[in-house]
Structure 1
Amino acid sequence: MYVASLLRSFLLLHLIPVHVTSFVAPTRIRTSLSHGVVSITSAIIPGLTTPSDTKKTASQIGSSSSDKGNDTFGEGKSNREDDGVDWELEETLLAIHLRPLPGKSLDECLQRVSSYTQSFPFAAVLPVQPLQYLPAKDGGVDLKFLRKKTDIKSGIDGGIRFFVREKLEVEASQDEDDTDEDEDEDKDKSDAFFPTNGIEIIAKRNSRGQTIPKMFAEKLVIQAFVKGVTDGGNVEDSSATGSITSSSAGTPKTRFESPTKDMVALESVFHKWMDVGR
């Protein structure tokens, strides 16, 4: 009786057409009448995607879509390429606004500001704190603090990300000394706005891996960097080899002169500790 039921099921499965509606091929059924066991195995059709592969593809598509997110800090690249940090959510520690001096091109000023930022001796500011700092594609620096209480000192304990970028502004062209005769002639001109290019150095806290913000280390780094930039002529060639040394107490030695010496004008500076100690 049991064997007859198995045979009936076997015949029905082979006589009824099977419509493939998934990525898995029709199943093959083997029967063993002597033991009364039905063994079912699946055969995968070559070239078709399995459900698990479909899930993987969907996650890849989602990740590439999310890579097109906010690129305000990153020069058109995804924030995920920069340790997965969303810089818009991180606190701004420093903002410096510079403008090229007359006769200086924006490109050469950007290059000078970038060279100074990337070569700044952060390790001299924090000699006890293990650091890792690498130049970034946008001309800035990715500075990371390393944990001192690890055997290999490889644990990341936050850091500071310096961005160097061009800033496009608009300003009104208006002459306050216009005479009545020239008022009508210059009316259109006074209402016009002309774009002017500047340079920004933005420093953002990198809280990734931090349990407690390293406020003191951040303060020392930011204050030393601001002092180096704003002093302008704080470096001088003091040897035949052309090495650059500091001529201002409290400012570390730098390989490049500050761009405010002869390339850019310092328009504004803001940092988190400006009012401390006043």
Structure 2
Amino acid sequence: MFLSPGDLFGAGGAGLSQTPASGAVWCLELLCHCPRAPADVCPCPVCALQFCQAKHKDVTMAVLHELYNYLSVQAGNFECGNPENLKSKCIWVSEVKDHVLNVTGSSSQKFEAALHWILNSNKDLGIRLKGRDLSEPVSSVEEVFCLESAHPQMGLGCRFRRAVVTAIMNLFLFFWSLITLWGILLYLRYRWRKMEEEEQAMYEMVKKIIAVVQDHYKEWERNLERYPYVGIFHVRDSLIPPQSRKKMKRVWERAVDFLASNESRIQTESHRVAGEDMLVWRWTQPSYLSDSEH
């Protein structure tokens, strides 16, 4: 059973001529300003509560709207030359609060309610709440240190300048990537050509070594040489002039490795020559077989 205003103020309303409709209006004001008012003081508490909830939502939406606009404008100014000398797009919560309350005329409770709405909403409202550590997410309104817009509002001129700068940067990156790829291709071509030249030089060196070792063996057979083998460094010194030995070092080493792995007619041995141990090459195929091949 609902109580009428007459029941609250005495029989006949204690001199107050209130109709049920005016009592409902009084009840709305009571509930909207005092949400903890007893439910049995109003003729329609459910309707009044729904009305107050809708009104509360409208006020919160108005605060959020102004909050969004203010932060987006500030973020846009920061992105477009920063005329207000802002230190960051994240505006201190006290500064945001003063602006919103001044524009909307709302209370601090409504501002905090808007922050709660942002914090608990599953949707992206375009407003970011940040604590003192900007990299850490906040879990309560008390931890909010500053607010930042995720969608800066920029003027047409600023958007055009940023678009031009972005286009120039992308064009620069494109040409830089193109030049880099072209340089890599040129370097690879150079390396392939050098490898082919080195490969060819190695085979030429192998041929010369075989000829020197074979000629030395023939001269030994004719008693023109004391030993049937010849020192490896002696062959190198006879084939490569001193000024070219550093440049031809890799070619020579590859030729020596190739002979050790692929040439059965030349055998690598170690002998003591002139009191020193040294590596030598010996021709293992008799001269008559070599001549028959030719």
- Shorter chain as denominator, the TM-score bin is under 0.3
Instruction: Looking at secondary structure, tell me which structure has more helix per residue.
Output: 2
Instruction: Looking at secondary structure, tell me which structure has more strand per residue.
Output: 1
Q: When the two structures are superposed, what TM-score results if normalisation uses the length of structure 2?
A: 0.22
Q: When the two structures are superposed, what TM-score results if normalisation uses the length of structure 1?
A: 0.23
The structure having more radius of gyration, on CA atoms, is: 2
RCO greater where, 1 or 2, for CA within 8 Å and sep 6 or more? 1
